[in-house]
Amino acid sequence: MGILSILLWTPAAGVLLLALTPSRNIRLIHTIANLFTTVAFLSVCWLLNSYNADNAGLQFSEYFPLNPKLGSAYALGVDGLSMPMLVLATLLTSIALLASFNISTSVKGYHICILLLEFGMLGVFLAQDWALFYIFWEVTLIPLFFLIGRWGGNRRHTASLNFVLYTMGGSVFMLLSLLAISQYDLEHGGSLMSSMHQAAQDMPRLEQVLVLLGFVIGFGVKMPIFPLHGWLPLAHVEAPSPVSILLSGILLKMGAYGLIRAVVMLPEAAKLLQPMLIFLGLFGMLYGGLLAWRQSDLKAMIAYSSISHMGLVLLGIATLNEVGITGAILQMSAHGLIAGALFLLIGLLYERTHTRNIQDYSSLIKVMPRFTVFMTLTLLAAMGLPGSVGFIAELHTLIGSYSAFSSLALGLVVMVFFSVSLLIGAAYGIRTISLLFTGPVKQEMNHLEDLRTPEWLAAGILVGSIVLFGLLPAPLLALSSATIGQMNSVISQRLL
Protein backbone atom coordinates (compact mmCIF):
# COMPACT_ATOMS: atom_id res chain seq x y z
CA MET A 1 0.00 0.00 0.00
CA GLY A 2 1.39 3.38 -1.04
CA ILE A 3 1.63 6.49 1.09
CA LEU A 4 -1.42 8.04 -0.59
CA SER A 5 -3.58 5.03 0.23
CA ILE A 6 -2.30 5.09 3.81
CA LEU A 7 -3.22 8.76 4.04
CA LEU A 8 -6.64 8.26 2.44
CA TRP A 9 -7.69 5.25 4.51
CA THR A 10 -6.38 6.48 7.88
CA PRO A 11 -9.63 8.36 8.73
CA ALA A 12 -11.67 5.37 7.50
CA ALA A 13 -9.72 3.10 9.86
CA GLY A 14 -10.51 5.56 12.64
CA VAL A 15 -14.21 5.32 11.78
CA LEU A 16 -14.11 1.52 12.07
CA LEU A 17 -12.28 1.65 15.39
CA LEU A 18 -14.70 4.25 16.77
CA ALA A 19 -17.63 2.07 15.69
CA LEU A 20 -16.29 -0.66 18.00
CA THR A 21 -15.68 1.72 20.91
CA PRO A 22 -18.30 1.87 23.69
CA SER A 23 -20.33 5.09 23.49
CA ARG A 24 -19.99 5.78 27.22
CA ASN A 25 -16.17 5.96 27.06
CA ILE A 26 -15.99 9.63 26.01
CA ARG A 27 -12.31 10.12 26.76
CA LEU A 28 -11.30 7.12 24.64
CA ILE A 29 -13.45 8.37 21.75
CA HIS A 30 -11.75 11.78 21.87
CA THR A 31 -8.33 10.12 22.01
CA ILE A 32 -8.95 7.78 19.07
CA ALA A 33 -10.40 10.49 16.84
CA ASN A 34 -7.58 12.94 17.59
CA LEU A 35 -4.98 10.20 17.13
CA PHE A 36 -6.16 9.31 13.63
CA THR A 37 -6.48 12.92 12.50
CA THR A 38 -2.98 13.58 13.83
CA VAL A 39 -1.63 10.55 11.95
CA ALA A 40 -3.26 11.85 8.76
CA PHE A 41 -1.71 15.29 9.28
CA LEU A 42 1.74 13.81 9.95
CA SER A 43 1.39 11.66 6.82
CA VAL A 44 0.72 14.80 4.78
CA CYS A 45 3.73 16.50 6.40
CA TRP A 46 5.91 13.55 5.34
CA LEU A 47 4.36 13.76 1.88
CA LEU A 48 5.09 17.48 1.72
CA ASN A 49 8.70 16.91 2.74
CA SER A 50 9.15 14.31 -0.01
CA TYR A 51 7.23 16.25 -2.66
CA ASN A 52 9.30 17.64 -5.54
CA ALA A 53 7.89 21.10 -6.25
CA ASP A 54 9.85 21.36 -9.52
CA ASN A 55 8.00 18.38 -10.98
CA ALA A 56 4.77 19.54 -12.64
CA GLY A 57 3.36 16.05 -13.08
CA LEU A 58 1.61 13.68 -10.69
CA GLN A 59 3.71 12.28 -7.88
CA PHE A 60 3.36 9.23 -5.59
CA SER A 61 0.86 7.86 -8.13
CA GLU A 62 -1.11 4.70 -7.43
CA TYR A 63 -3.15 2.94 -10.10
CA PHE A 64 -5.41 -0.11 -9.95
CA PRO A 65 -7.97 -0.78 -12.74
CA LEU A 66 -11.58 -1.08 -11.57
CA ASN A 67 -13.58 -1.21 -14.80
CA PRO A 68 -11.37 -1.71 -17.89
CA LYS A 69 -14.29 -1.19 -20.31
CA LEU A 70 -15.09 2.21 -18.86
CA GLY A 71 -11.46 2.97 -18.09
CA SER A 72 -12.16 3.80 -14.46
CA ALA A 73 -9.54 2.98 -11.86
CA TYR A 74 -8.48 3.42 -8.27
CA ALA A 75 -6.07 6.16 -9.31
CA LEU A 76 -4.46 8.45 -6.75
CA GLY A 77 -1.85 11.17 -7.16
CA VAL A 78 -0.82 14.62 -6.00
CA ASP A 79 0.39 17.71 -7.81
CA GLY A 80 0.84 21.38 -7.03
CA LEU A 81 -2.92 21.96 -7.01
CA SER A 82 -3.88 19.16 -4.63
CA MET A 83 -0.87 19.31 -2.29
CA PRO A 84 -1.78 22.57 -0.47
CA MET A 85 -5.40 21.40 -0.20
CA LEU A 86 -4.30 18.16 1.50
CA VAL A 87 -2.26 20.09 4.06
CA LEU A 88 -5.19 22.43 4.69
CA ALA A 89 -7.71 19.58 4.99
CA THR A 90 -5.74 17.57 7.56
CA LEU A 91 -4.70 20.66 9.55
CA LEU A 92 -8.22 22.09 9.83
CA THR A 93 -9.70 18.67 10.67
CA SER A 94 -7.29 18.34 13.59
CA ILE A 95 -8.13 21.85 14.79
CA ALA A 96 -11.87 21.24 14.36
CA LEU A 97 -11.63 18.18 16.61
CA LEU A 98 -9.65 20.14 19.21
CA ALA A 99 -12.44 22.73 19.16
CA SER A 100 -15.13 20.06 19.65
CA PHE A 101 -14.69 19.76 23.42
CA ASN A 102 -18.16 21.23 24.02
CA ILE A 103 -19.98 18.48 22.10
CA SER A 104 -21.85 16.56 24.79
CA THR A 105 -24.56 14.63 22.93
CA SER A 106 -23.90 11.59 20.73
CA VAL A 107 -20.16 12.16 21.02
CA LYS A 108 -19.31 8.91 19.27
CA GLY A 109 -21.51 9.66 16.27
CA TYR A 110 -20.11 13.18 16.01
CA HIS A 111 -16.50 12.00 15.84
CA ILE A 112 -17.37 9.26 13.37
CA CYS A 113 -18.96 11.88 11.10
CA ILE A 114 -15.89 14.16 11.33
CA LEU A 115 -13.54 11.33 10.35
CA LEU A 116 -15.84 10.22 7.55
CA LEU A 117 -15.92 13.80 6.29
CA GLU A 118 -12.12 13.93 6.30
CA PHE A 119 -12.05 10.65 4.37
CA GLY A 120 -14.28 12.15 1.67
CA MET A 121 -12.32 15.40 1.47
CA LEU A 122 -8.99 13.63 1.13
CA GLY A 123 -10.47 11.38 -1.56
CA VAL A 124 -11.59 14.39 -3.61
CA PHE A 125 -8.10 15.93 -3.57
CA LEU A 126 -6.28 12.64 -4.16
CA ALA A 127 -8.50 11.10 -6.87
CA GLN A 128 -7.06 11.12 -10.38
CA ASP A 129 -10.10 9.44 -11.88
CA TRP A 130 -13.34 11.33 -12.50
CA ALA A 131 -15.52 8.40 -11.41
CA LEU A 132 -13.57 8.07 -8.16
CA PHE A 133 -13.66 11.84 -7.73
CA TYR A 134 -17.45 11.84 -8.05
CA ILE A 135 -17.82 9.04 -5.49
CA PHE A 136 -15.75 10.87 -2.88
CA TRP A 137 -17.58 14.12 -3.71
CA GLU A 138 -20.87 12.46 -2.79
CA VAL A 139 -19.39 10.78 0.30
CA THR A 140 -18.91 14.19 1.92
CA LEU A 141 -22.68 14.86 1.80
CA ILE A 142 -23.58 12.12 4.27
CA PRO A 143 -21.55 13.22 7.33
CA LEU A 144 -22.26 16.92 6.70
CA PHE A 145 -26.01 16.28 6.61
CA PHE A 146 -25.83 14.67 10.06
CA LEU A 147 -23.29 17.11 11.50
CA ILE A 148 -25.53 20.06 10.69
CA GLY A 149 -28.87 18.33 11.26
CA ARG A 150 -27.96 16.61 14.53
CA TRP A 151 -25.57 19.01 16.28
CA GLY A 152 -26.61 22.35 14.76
CA GLY A 153 -28.71 25.24 16.06
CA ASN A 154 -32.45 25.82 16.20
CA ARG A 155 -32.94 25.74 12.42
CA ARG A 156 -30.52 22.89 11.88
CA HIS A 157 -32.97 20.64 10.03
CA THR A 158 -33.78 23.32 7.45
CA ALA A 159 -30.08 24.11 7.06
CA SER A 160 -29.04 20.48 6.56
CA LEU A 161 -31.88 19.84 4.09
CA ASN A 162 -31.02 22.98 2.09
CA PHE A 163 -27.38 21.96 1.96
CA VAL A 164 -28.12 18.45 0.70
CA LEU A 165 -30.73 19.55 -1.86
CA TYR A 166 -28.51 22.28 -3.28
CA THR A 167 -25.44 20.04 -3.44
CA MET A 168 -27.28 17.03 -4.87
CA GLY A 169 -28.88 19.29 -7.48
CA GLY A 170 -25.45 20.55 -8.49
CA SER A 171 -24.11 16.98 -8.52
CA VAL A 172 -26.72 16.04 -11.13
CA PHE A 173 -25.31 18.63 -13.54
CA MET A 174 -21.77 17.48 -12.81
CA LEU A 175 -22.75 13.87 -13.48
CA LEU A 176 -24.44 14.81 -16.77
CA SER A 177 -21.26 16.56 -17.90
CA LEU A 178 -19.14 13.54 -16.97
CA LEU A 179 -21.50 11.22 -18.86
CA ALA A 180 -21.40 13.51 -21.90
CA ILE A 181 -17.61 13.27 -22.07
CA SER A 182 -17.67 9.52 -21.42
CA GLN A 183 -19.60 9.01 -24.68
CA TYR A 184 -16.38 9.68 -26.55
CA ASP A 185 -13.47 7.33 -27.03
CA LEU A 186 -11.75 6.89 -23.67
CA GLU A 187 -9.49 3.99 -24.58
CA HIS A 188 -6.24 5.89 -24.27
CA GLY A 189 -4.75 4.13 -21.28
CA GLY A 190 -4.04 5.70 -17.95
CA SER A 191 -6.74 6.98 -15.66
CA LEU A 192 -10.19 8.16 -16.63
CA MET A 193 -9.21 11.74 -15.78
CA SER A 194 -6.39 11.82 -18.35
CA SER A 195 -8.61 10.03 -20.89
CA MET A 196 -11.36 12.59 -20.46
CA HIS A 197 -8.87 15.40 -21.02
CA GLN A 198 -8.05 13.85 -24.39
CA ALA A 199 -11.66 13.08 -25.26
CA ALA A 200 -12.70 16.68 -24.55
CA GLN A 201 -10.53 17.85 -27.45
CA ASP A 202 -12.73 15.91 -29.91
CA MET A 203 -16.00 17.41 -28.72
CA PRO A 204 -17.87 20.02 -30.83
CA ARG A 205 -17.49 23.55 -29.49
CA LEU A 206 -21.15 23.88 -28.47
CA GLU A 207 -21.05 20.61 -26.57
CA GLN A 208 -17.88 21.71 -24.78
CA VAL A 209 -19.69 24.86 -23.63
CA LEU A 210 -22.69 22.88 -22.37
CA VAL A 211 -20.44 20.42 -20.55
CA LEU A 212 -18.48 23.23 -18.89
CA LEU A 213 -21.74 24.92 -17.87
CA GLY A 214 -22.71 21.68 -16.14
CA PHE A 215 -19.40 21.72 -14.27
CA VAL A 216 -19.81 25.40 -13.39
CA ILE A 217 -23.22 24.67 -11.86
CA GLY A 218 -22.04 21.51 -10.09
CA PHE A 219 -18.89 23.01 -8.63
CA GLY A 220 -20.41 26.48 -8.30
CA VAL A 221 -22.98 25.25 -5.77
CA LYS A 222 -20.19 24.04 -3.49
CA MET A 223 -17.92 27.10 -3.89
CA PRO A 224 -20.51 28.79 -3.83
CA ILE A 225 -20.95 31.40 -6.58
CA PHE A 226 -23.90 33.73 -7.05
CA PRO A 227 -26.75 32.78 -7.51
CA LEU A 228 -26.05 29.23 -6.25
CA HIS A 229 -25.16 30.32 -2.73
CA GLY A 230 -28.57 30.04 -1.01
CA TRP A 231 -27.59 27.16 1.27
CA LEU A 232 -24.41 28.71 2.65
CA PRO A 233 -25.45 31.44 5.15
CA LEU A 234 -28.00 29.27 6.97
CA ALA A 235 -25.67 26.26 7.03
CA HIS A 236 -22.84 28.32 8.52
CA VAL A 237 -25.04 29.95 11.15
CA GLU A 238 -26.69 26.71 12.26
CA ALA A 239 -23.68 24.37 12.04
CA PRO A 240 -21.51 23.84 15.13
CA SER A 241 -18.44 26.08 14.95
CA PRO A 242 -15.99 23.17 14.39
CA VAL A 243 -18.11 22.06 11.42
CA SER A 244 -18.14 25.63 10.10
CA ILE A 245 -14.33 25.53 10.18
CA LEU A 246 -14.37 22.56 7.81
CA LEU A 247 -17.30 23.80 5.76
CA SER A 248 -15.73 27.16 4.96
CA GLY A 249 -12.09 26.14 5.19
CA ILE A 250 -12.21 23.01 3.02
CA LEU A 251 -15.61 22.15 1.55
CA LEU A 252 -15.85 25.40 -0.42
CA LYS A 253 -12.37 24.76 -1.83
CA MET A 254 -13.52 21.43 -3.25
CA GLY A 255 -15.75 23.34 -5.68
CA ALA A 256 -12.92 25.66 -6.76
CA TYR A 257 -10.54 22.70 -7.07
CA GLY A 258 -12.95 20.83 -9.35
CA LEU A 259 -13.65 23.93 -11.44
CA ILE A 260 -9.94 24.49 -12.08
CA ARG A 261 -9.63 20.89 -13.27
CA ALA A 262 -12.65 21.35 -15.55
CA VAL A 263 -11.40 24.65 -17.01
CA VAL A 264 -8.02 23.10 -17.85
CA MET A 265 -9.87 20.21 -19.50
CA LEU A 266 -12.14 22.54 -21.54
CA PRO A 267 -10.17 25.76 -22.10
CA GLU A 268 -11.91 26.65 -25.38
CA ALA A 269 -15.30 26.57 -23.70
CA ALA A 270 -13.85 28.50 -20.76
CA LYS A 271 -12.66 31.21 -23.16
CA LEU A 272 -16.17 31.53 -24.59
CA LEU A 273 -17.69 31.68 -21.10
CA GLN A 274 -14.97 33.97 -19.75
CA PRO A 275 -17.08 37.19 -19.73
CA MET A 276 -19.84 35.42 -17.79
CA LEU A 277 -17.38 33.92 -15.28
CA ILE A 278 -15.65 37.26 -14.72
CA PHE A 279 -19.01 38.97 -14.20
CA LEU A 280 -20.13 36.31 -11.71
CA GLY A 281 -16.82 36.59 -9.86
CA LEU A 282 -16.98 40.39 -9.58
CA PHE A 283 -20.68 40.39 -8.71
CA GLY A 284 -20.12 37.73 -6.05
CA MET A 285 -17.36 39.82 -4.51
CA LEU A 286 -19.59 42.90 -4.30
CA TYR A 287 -22.75 41.01 -3.31
CA GLY A 288 -21.08 38.97 -0.57
CA GLY A 289 -19.25 42.00 0.78
CA LEU A 290 -22.37 44.17 0.96
CA LEU A 291 -24.39 41.47 2.73
CA ALA A 292 -21.52 40.79 5.15
CA TRP A 293 -21.48 44.53 5.94
CA ARG A 294 -25.16 44.40 6.93
CA GLN A 295 -24.90 41.46 9.35
CA SER A 296 -25.04 41.72 13.11
CA ASP A 297 -24.54 37.96 13.60
CA LEU A 298 -20.80 37.28 13.52
CA LYS A 299 -21.12 33.85 11.90
CA ALA A 300 -23.47 35.22 9.23
CA MET A 301 -20.96 37.97 8.51
CA ILE A 302 -18.16 35.45 7.97
CA ALA A 303 -20.48 33.30 5.83
CA TYR A 304 -21.31 36.16 3.47
CA SER A 305 -17.67 37.25 3.41
CA SER A 306 -16.87 33.72 2.20
CA ILE A 307 -19.10 34.32 -0.83
CA SER A 308 -17.06 37.47 -1.52
CA HIS A 309 -13.73 35.69 -1.17
CA MET A 310 -14.80 32.75 -3.32
CA GLY A 311 -15.91 35.29 -5.95
CA LEU A 312 -12.27 36.37 -5.94
CA VAL A 313 -11.24 32.75 -6.55
CA LEU A 314 -13.68 32.51 -9.48
CA LEU A 315 -12.27 35.74 -10.93
CA GLY A 316 -8.75 34.31 -10.75
CA ILE A 317 -9.82 31.10 -12.50
CA ALA A 318 -11.68 33.07 -15.19
CA THR A 319 -8.55 35.02 -16.18
CA LEU A 320 -7.19 31.83 -17.84
CA ASN A 321 -3.64 33.06 -17.32
CA GLU A 322 -0.83 31.90 -15.06
CA VAL A 323 -0.85 34.87 -12.67
CA GLY A 324 -4.64 34.78 -12.20
CA ILE A 325 -4.77 31.03 -11.58
CA THR A 326 -1.88 31.42 -9.13
CA GLY A 327 -3.96 34.05 -7.33
CA ALA A 328 -6.97 31.72 -7.25
CA ILE A 329 -4.98 28.86 -5.71
CA LEU A 330 -3.33 31.20 -3.21
CA GLN A 331 -6.73 32.62 -2.29
CA MET A 332 -8.05 29.08 -1.71
CA SER A 333 -5.26 28.47 0.81
CA ALA A 334 -5.51 31.95 2.32
CA HIS A 335 -9.26 31.82 2.77
CA GLY A 336 -9.03 28.34 4.28
CA LEU A 337 -6.67 29.62 6.97
CA ILE A 338 -8.53 32.91 7.53
CA ALA A 339 -12.05 31.46 7.61
CA GLY A 340 -10.86 28.57 9.79
CA ALA A 341 -9.33 31.00 12.28
CA LEU A 342 -12.41 33.26 12.29
CA PHE A 343 -14.89 30.44 12.89
CA LEU A 344 -12.63 28.95 15.56
CA LEU A 345 -12.37 32.26 17.45
CA ILE A 346 -16.06 33.14 17.07
CA GLY A 347 -16.98 29.67 18.29
CA LEU A 348 -14.78 30.03 21.36
CA LEU A 349 -16.29 33.45 22.06
CA TYR A 350 -19.83 32.09 21.69
CA GLU A 351 -19.10 29.32 24.19
CA ARG A 352 -18.28 31.98 26.77
CA THR A 353 -21.08 34.47 26.04
CA HIS A 354 -23.83 32.50 24.21
CA THR A 355 -24.40 35.38 21.83
CA ARG A 356 -23.11 36.13 18.33
CA ASN A 357 -24.67 39.58 18.05
CA ILE A 358 -21.85 42.03 17.49
CA GLN A 359 -23.80 44.77 19.30
CA ASP A 360 -23.56 42.80 22.55
CA TYR A 361 -19.79 43.24 22.74
CA SER A 362 -17.37 46.06 23.45
CA SER A 363 -13.82 46.57 24.70
CA LEU A 364 -12.94 42.87 24.82
CA ILE A 365 -9.29 43.93 24.65
CA LYS A 366 -9.42 44.63 28.39
CA VAL A 367 -10.71 41.20 29.38
CA MET A 368 -9.49 38.97 26.51
CA PRO A 369 -6.16 40.35 25.23
CA ARG A 370 -5.00 37.09 23.60
CA PHE A 371 -8.31 36.70 21.81
CA THR A 372 -8.07 40.33 20.68
CA VAL A 373 -4.64 39.85 19.11
CA PHE A 374 -5.62 36.76 17.14
CA MET A 375 -9.00 38.11 16.05
CA THR A 376 -7.58 41.46 14.95
CA LEU A 377 -4.79 39.88 12.92
CA THR A 378 -7.25 37.53 11.23
CA LEU A 379 -9.71 40.30 10.37
CA LEU A 380 -6.87 42.42 8.95
CA ALA A 381 -5.80 39.45 6.84
CA ALA A 382 -9.38 39.04 5.60
CA MET A 383 -9.18 42.66 4.38
CA GLY A 384 -6.05 41.78 2.39
CA LEU A 385 -3.70 43.86 4.51
CA PRO A 386 -0.04 43.75 3.32
CA GLY A 387 1.94 41.34 5.43
CA SER A 388 -0.79 38.69 5.32
CA VAL A 389 -1.26 35.82 2.91
CA GLY A 390 -4.58 37.35 1.84
CA PHE A 391 -2.71 40.31 0.33
CA ILE A 392 -0.44 38.05 -1.74
CA ALA A 393 -3.46 36.19 -3.14
CA GLU A 394 -5.43 39.34 -3.95
CA LEU A 395 -2.42 40.99 -5.60
CA HIS A 396 -1.92 38.05 -7.98
CA THR A 397 -5.63 37.96 -8.83
CA LEU A 398 -5.64 41.72 -9.43
CA ILE A 399 -2.68 41.57 -11.82
CA GLY A 400 -4.02 38.47 -13.58
CA SER A 401 -7.50 39.93 -14.09
CA TYR A 402 -6.11 43.19 -15.47
CA SER A 403 -3.83 41.41 -17.93
CA ALA A 404 -6.70 39.17 -19.10
CA PHE A 405 -8.12 42.08 -21.11
CA SER A 406 -6.58 43.51 -24.25
CA SER A 407 -8.90 46.51 -23.97
CA LEU A 408 -7.74 49.14 -21.48
CA ALA A 409 -11.31 50.30 -20.85
CA LEU A 410 -12.54 46.82 -19.87
CA GLY A 411 -9.50 46.32 -17.67
CA LEU A 412 -10.20 49.57 -15.86
CA VAL A 413 -13.86 48.61 -15.31
CA VAL A 414 -12.79 45.34 -13.74
CA MET A 415 -10.26 47.16 -11.56
CA VAL A 416 -12.91 49.61 -10.33
CA PHE A 417 -15.32 46.85 -9.26
CA PHE A 418 -12.42 44.86 -7.79
CA SER A 419 -11.27 47.86 -5.74
CA VAL A 420 -14.79 48.69 -4.51
CA SER A 421 -15.25 45.14 -3.25
CA LEU A 422 -11.95 45.35 -1.35
CA LEU A 423 -13.03 48.63 0.23
CA ILE A 424 -16.32 47.07 1.34
CA GLY A 425 -14.37 44.20 2.91
CA ALA A 426 -12.16 46.67 4.74
CA ALA A 427 -15.25 48.59 5.94
CA TYR A 428 -16.95 45.66 7.68
CA GLY A 429 -13.63 44.34 8.96
CA ILE A 430 -12.76 47.65 10.63
CA ARG A 431 -16.33 47.96 11.94
CA THR A 432 -16.05 44.53 13.55
CA ILE A 433 -12.74 45.38 15.21
CA SER A 434 -14.20 48.64 16.48
CA LEU A 435 -17.35 47.13 17.96
CA LEU A 436 -15.60 44.14 19.52
CA PHE A 437 -12.57 45.80 21.06
CA THR A 438 -13.32 49.48 21.76
CA GLY A 439 -15.75 51.37 23.97
CA PRO A 440 -16.69 50.82 27.63
CA VAL A 441 -16.58 47.35 29.14
CA LYS A 442 -20.09 45.95 29.50
CA GLN A 443 -20.87 44.54 32.94
CA GLU A 444 -21.88 41.12 31.63
CA MET A 445 -18.58 40.85 29.69
CA ASN A 446 -16.36 41.93 32.57
CA HIS A 447 -15.42 38.44 33.76
CA LEU A 448 -14.88 36.57 30.49
CA GLU A 449 -12.06 34.04 30.47
CA ASP A 450 -9.34 34.63 27.89
CA LEU A 451 -8.15 31.86 25.57
CA ARG A 452 -6.84 28.79 27.37
CA THR A 453 -3.55 27.20 26.35
CA PRO A 454 -4.96 24.59 23.88
CA GLU A 455 -7.22 27.27 22.38
CA TRP A 456 -4.55 29.86 21.76
CA LEU A 457 -2.19 27.19 20.45
CA ALA A 458 -4.80 26.13 17.85
CA ALA A 459 -5.54 29.75 16.93
CA GLY A 460 -1.82 30.54 16.93
CA ILE A 461 -1.10 27.85 14.33
CA LEU A 462 -3.64 29.32 11.92
CA VAL A 463 -2.85 32.99 12.56
CA GLY A 464 0.89 32.29 12.53
CA SER A 465 0.54 30.61 9.12
CA ILE A 466 -1.44 33.60 7.82
CA VAL A 467 1.32 36.02 8.83
CA LEU A 468 4.24 33.72 7.96
CA PHE A 469 3.09 33.09 4.39
CA GLY A 470 2.24 36.77 4.05
CA LEU A 471 5.80 37.78 4.91
CA LEU A 472 7.50 34.79 3.25
CA PRO A 473 5.21 33.64 0.41
CA ALA A 474 7.96 32.02 -1.67
CA PRO A 475 7.51 28.43 -0.33
CA LEU A 476 3.73 28.57 -0.89
CA LEU A 477 4.19 29.98 -4.39
CA ALA A 478 6.88 27.42 -5.25
CA LEU A 479 4.65 24.54 -4.13
CA SER A 480 2.21 25.10 -7.01
CA SER A 481 4.22 27.06 -9.59
CA ALA A 482 5.31 24.11 -11.75
CA THR A 483 1.81 22.62 -11.92
CA ILE A 484 0.26 26.03 -12.66
CA GLY A 485 2.82 26.57 -15.41
CA GLN A 486 1.86 23.24 -16.96
CA MET A 487 -1.85 24.11 -16.74
CA ASN A 488 -1.20 27.48 -18.36
CA SER A 489 0.74 25.77 -21.14
CA VAL A 490 -2.16 23.40 -21.83
CA ILE A 491 -4.65 26.29 -21.90
CA SER A 492 -2.42 28.39 -24.17
CA GLN A 493 -1.83 25.57 -26.64
CA ARG A 494 -5.54 24.77 -26.91
CA LEU A 495 -6.46 28.44 -27.42
CA LEU A 496 -3.99 29.01 -30.26
Question: What confidence score (pLDDT) does residue 336 get?
Answer: 93
Which parts of 49-196 are beta strand (E)? 59-67, 72-78
Mean pLDDT of 152-170: 87
The ranges assigned to domains in the chain are 273-496
- Identify the CA nearest to 223 among candidates 310, 163, 160, 292: 310
- Identify the CA nearest to 314 among candidates 202, 414, 167: 414
Tell me the C-alpha distance between 134 and 175, whole Å. 8
Question: What confidence score (pLDDT) does residue 188 get?
Answer: 47
CA distances to 126, 131, 171, 187, 264 from 73, in Å: 13, 8, 20, 13, 21
> How does pLDDT run across 118-148, given as a tens digit for each residue?
999 999 999 988 888 999 999 999 999 999 9
For the whole model, what pTM was predicted? Answer: 0.92
> How does pLDDT run across 253-293, given as a tens digit for each residue?
999 999 999 898 888 888 899 889 988 999 999 999 999 99
216 pLDDT tier (thresholds 50, 70, 90): very high
Question: What confidence score (pLDDT) does residue 316 get?
Answer: 92
> How does pLDDT run across 64-97, given as a tens digit for each residue?
877 766 667 788 999 989 999 999 999 999 999 9
**Cross-strand partners of 72:** 67
> How does pLDDT run across 294-328, given as a tens digit for each residue?
888 899 999 899 999 999 999 999 988 899 999 99
Question: What confidence score (pLDDT) does residue 404 get?
Answer: 77
Question: What confidence score (pLDDT) does residue 407 get?
Answer: 64
> How does pLDDT run across 434-471, given as a tens digit for each residue?
988 888 877 777 788 888 888 889 899 999 999 999 99
2 pLDDT tier (thresholds 50, 70, 90): confident
Count the Cβ atoms, other than its own, within 10 Å of residue 181.
24
Q: What percent of the chain has pLDDT over 90?
A: 45
> How does pLDDT run across 355-369, given as a tens digit for each residue?
888 888 888 888 889
